Amino acid sequence: MVALALKDLGANYGRARVLSDVSIDDLKSGSVTAIIGPNAAGKSTLFKRIASLIKGPGLVELSGTQAGPRTICYMPQDTAANAVLTVYESVLLSAKQGSSWRVADEELIEIDRVLKALRIDDLAFRGLGELSGGQRQLVSLAQALIRNPEVLLMDEPTSALDLHRQVEVLSFISETAKRDGLIVLIALHDLNHALRYCENTIVISNGKMVASGETNAVITRTMLREIYKIDARIEQCSQGTPLVIVDGAI
Ligand SMILES: Nc1ncnc2c1ncn2[C@@H]1O[C@H](COP(=O)(O)OP(=O)(O)OP(=O)(O)O)[C@@H](O)[C@H]1O
Ligand SMILES: [Mg+2]
């Protein structure tokens, strides 16, 4: 069992401090945690800092020791397309990052499995530049999953997907986390997805962590009013799942 701890994490862009004092302990393997908060709150910055893509104060620890870069994989919010590569090549390249260039049969089988699970196996030999926005996002997801990291940071992984794909992808991420013992953090704007798929939630606002804990306890009417500036109700649906119903902006 691996556990992720963040200790007083912060980040600057130039001289501007955009994130400070984010601390959390014990995000356990197999768990899925939502990172929520308004635009420009610092969610992507937090991910980049955890993945060591930007520098700043604080420590990222995995089971008490400083996490190495290969154990943490960051799926960015914007999916850039390298038009020269095919889907298959781009996923293979991602699988080989930081390891030997020899390709084992098991790796090819695993690529097939991930492409099939995300239902993009029919795109395997298409160029990345020829894909729709949602298809590109699914390829980006495949590139992240194939690396089989201990910590997977997914920055709005469903923002370009249709409803069917959103549900399919979030279920797949949640099953993969449990099956492979990953620690998954997902930045989300859809709070109903957080309520349904994420056991824990961290709220970022103005570069600070303002709440964290079990999702049901964190997403409250008061939090939505204070942080999101909306009037909203949390109601149980007929099947017992809590839902956010928005009445309007304050
Ligand atoms: N490369 C950069 N240089 C300077 N400032 C930046 C840079 N990237 C982000 N910022 C600023 O840092 C702050 C936090 O941005 P960040 O991208 O982390 O927000 P976010 O919570 O991910 O927002 P969104 O929901 O819109 O994706 C914002 O004020 C943003 O303008
Ligand atoms: Mg962002």
Using alpha carbons only, how large is the chain's radius of gyration in Å? 18
- Atom 28 (ligand 1) nearest CA: 40
Q: Encode pLDDT of 168-212 as tens digits.
A: 999 999 999 999 999 999 999 999 999 999 999 999 999 999 999
Ligand 1 centroid vs 2 CA: distance in angstroms?
Answer: 29
Among the bound ligands, name the one nearest to the CA of residue 14.
1
Ligand 2 centroid vs 47 CA: distance in angstroms?
Answer: 9
Report d(CA 23, CA 25) in Å as an integer.
7
Report d(CA 128, CA 130) in Å as an integer.
5
Residue 113 phi/psi, 5-degree rounding, is: -65, -45
- Strands of 87-179 (E only): list them: 151-155
Query: What is the CB neighbour count within 10 angstroms for residue 99?
Result: 10
Report the alpha-carbon angle 168-135-77, nearest 5: 85
Together in a domain, 166 and 244 = no
Best probe residue, ligand 1, of 9, 12, 13, 19 (max atoms within 8 Å of C-beta): 13
Residues around ligand 2, an ion, CB closer than 5 A: 43-44, 77
What CATH code is carried by the domain that includes residue 7? 3.40.50.300
Domain count, the chain: 2
Q: Out of 101-105, 175-179, 243-247, which region has the weakest mean confidence (pLDDT)? A: 101-105
- Atom 2 (ligand 1) nearest CA: 13
Report d(CA 19, CA 37) in Å as an integer.
13
Q: Which domain holds residue 228?
A: 220-250
How many CA atoms, within 13 angstroms, populate the side-chain half-sphere of residue 145? 26
pLDDT at position 67, please?
67
Together in a domain, 181 and 123 = yes
Together in a domain, 109 and 71 = yes
pLDDT at position 47, please?
97
> Does the structure show a pLDDT above 90 at 25?
no
Report d(CA 46, CA 89) in Å as an integer.
29
Ligand 1 centroid vs 123 CA: distance in angstroms?
Answer: 32
User: How would residue 69 be classed by pLDDT, with cut points 50, 70 and 90?
Assistant: low
Report d(CA 228, CA 23) in Å as an integer.
22
Together in a domain, 162 and 250 = no
> Does the structure show a pLDDT above 80 at 250?
yes
- Strands of 90-171 (E only): list them: 151-155
Report d(CA 90, CA 21) in Å as an integer.
36
pTM of the model: 0.94
How many CA atoms, within 13 angstroms, populate the side-chain half-sphere of residue 142? 29
Together in a domain, 151 and 190 = yes
> Does the structure show a pLDDT above 80 at 68?
no
Q: Return the residue matching tokens 């909306």.
A: 230
Average pLDDT, the chain: 92
> What 8-state DSSP symbol labels residue 123?
G
Q: Between helices 87-96 and 133-145, what is the axis angle to 10°?
A: 30
What are the tokens at 174? Answer: 């949640």
Together in a domain, 224 and 208 = no
Together in a domain, 175 and 205 = yes
Ligand 2 centroid vs 39 CA: distance in angstroms?
Answer: 7
pLDDT at position 218, please?
98
Together in a domain, 131 and 234 = no
For residue 151, give the nearest of 57, 39, 51 by alpha carbon.
51
Together in a domain, 156 and 60 = yes
pLDDT at position 105, please?
80
Together in a domain, 114 and 233 = no
